[in-house]
Amino acid sequence: MIKGICEGLHYLHQINILHLDLTPGNILLDEDMMPKITDFGLSRCFEEDQTGVITKNVAGTRGYLAPECYNKEIILTHKFDLYSLGVIMIEILTGKKGCQVILRMYEQFIHHSKSNLTNNDLWH
């Protein structure tokens, strides 16, 4: 299943389409259990010589959006879809919502960072 999603996303990126809302709900399975990427309502196309699209307004599904999407102005590239793909892969492999796993990782990082700052132990 993961391979099929990767192939579909690769195809979209080859023809300069960014999906920008890749979630499990936007991946349907056909009768042969082959994944089909759907819901292109938020997708963006760009010219062949462009590597991304500049925007100030990013929409999508929380938990599947790359952290950079929360900046005021960003350049959208295929990397945003790859972040979403990674979250979906975590969900498939662990059976848990990927955004919850990532949130726990962020919380652990913040806790560890605060602990190091409090102890003046930045380099250990």
Tens-level pLDDT at each residue, the chain (124 residues): 899 999 999 999 999 999 999 999 999 999 999 999 999 999 988 888 877 777 777 788 888 888 887 777 788 889 999 999 999 998 888 887 766 766 777 677 777 777 766 666 555 5
Has 121 been annotated as catalytic? Answer: no
Domains located in the chain, CATH noted: 2-96 (1.10.510.10)
Active-site residue, from 21, 30, 49, 81: 21
Global confidence as pTM: 0.75
For 61-123, give the secondary structure using H, E and C: CCCCCCHHHHCCCEEECHHHHHHHHHHHHHHHHHCCCHHHHHHHHHHHHHHHHHHHHHCCCCC
